[in-house]
Homo-oligomer: A and B are copies of this chain.
Amino acid sequence: MTRKPLVIDCHGHYTTAPEALAIWRERQIAGIKNPDVMPRVSELEISDDDIQNSIETNQLQLMRDRGSDLTIFSPRASFMSHHIGDFSISSTWSAICNELCYRVTKLFPESFAMAAMLPQSPGVDPASCIPELEKCANEYNAVAINLNPDPSGGRWCDPPLWDRQWYPIYEKLVEYDMPAMVHVSSSCNPSFHTTGAYYLNADTTAFMQLLSADLFKDFPSLRIIIPHGGGAAPYHWGRFRGLAQALEKPLLDEHLLNNVFFDTCVYHQPGIDLLTEVIPVKNVLFASEMVGAVRGIDPETGSYFDDTKRYIEASNSLTCADRFLIYEGNARRVYPRLDAQLKARGL
């Protein structure tokens, strides 16, 4: 425990992809109504140089500035927009976005590992996503997936995460020893601001879905990451402990905390302090979701809101051993395929 930990950021999206990607997507969306203008995949041209520039001046620069070593990197969450079009639209779009992330990991193998998005579509059997999942695991060395608990984009029409419709996905995750981060995409419901309400609501919703069921009896080795510090869950941990008791579930330690993990995307010191006080350190994974929802500088600290490493460093209660777990140890345990990749590099 004497060596410096690798700082692994388990939650980064390719939010800075070259503009050509967004333009192609706009054409694809236009093509849903008017097939004549539907673009071919081959019409999207993004060179390695384009990718390199988009990463070096953004994520990689900030990783160096802030002192993180490796980011688990997935397609831009708000761009997944599973609610747009049908399975075939989602399928083409996922393949493009996943390949781009894979190219990032090939160009910067020391700094990025891949997490895949799935071609989910509202009301479509999630088993339809398995070929893409397998491709990303086998060909792109993906270490995790993002699983959208509400592909409708804010209408919440699909079954809860404990429903058997999701089991084929969980079976594949167990087979590949990959965790899933629960992550919605953009909201098409005017009630929900995407990053200010919908993301956090989805985290809380997913956590409560897991709490109210017994999914991990069926999948004892399945691992789920609830991002954005677990939504409202740690702040209301007493409520959730009390609800588990009322529902005659075991204590949360036993019921959920062998399988559920929270990231540190909480953008102020008191929030991180609460998270690390309430949730066992073994369940906390370092993350910043950078470059993401909150890109500004906090006038109260003079530092970036999403520079979450500062809060971990400034914590009064965490020991060196705790920080080692949060930065590296837990990620290696929760993402065994990442651990294997690091070991193959002699790390």
- Interface of A with B (CB < 8 Å)? 149-150, 154-156, 158-160, 189-193, 195-197, 200-201, 204-205, 207-209, 211-212, 228-229, 231-232, 234-243, 245-246, 251, 266-271, 273-274, 277-278, 293-296, 298-300, 305-306
Query: Interface centre among A190, A232, A295, A305, by most B CB within 10 Å?
Result: A232
Q: A242-B267, A246-B296, A298-B242 are contacts. A209–B235 as well, Cβ < 8 Å?
A: no
Partner of A268, one of B154, B238, B300: B238
B205 contacts A237, CB within 8 Å?
Answer: no
B212 contacts A243, CB within 8 Å?
Answer: no
Q: A159-B190, A204-B201, A274-B270 are contacts. A305–B241 as well, Cβ < 8 Å?
A: yes
Min CB gap A96→B, angstroms: 28
Count of this chain's copies in the oligomeric assembly = 2
Partner of A205, one of B191, B209, B268: B191
Give the distance in Å from the alpha carbon of A222 to the alpha carbon of B224 in the complex.
Answer: 42
Q: Can you list 13 A-B contacts with CB-CB less than 8 angstroms, sorted by A residue number?
A: A156-B189, A156-B192, A160-B191, A191-B209, A196-B211, A196-B243, A197-B207, A197-B208, A239-B268, A242-B267, A242-B296, A242-B298, A270-B278
Contacts of A242 in B (CB 8 A): 267, 293-296, 298, 305-306
A268 contacts B294, CB within 8 Å?
Answer: no
Give the distance in Å from the alpha carbon of A245 to the alpha carbon of B271 in the complex.
Answer: 19
B241 contacts A271, CB within 8 Å?
Answer: no
Q: A238-B298, A294-B243, A294-B246 are contacts. A204–B191 as well, Cβ < 8 Å?
A: no
Query: Interface centre among A196, A228, A246, by most B CB within 10 Å?
Result: A196
Identify the closest chain B residue to A278 (Cβ): B270
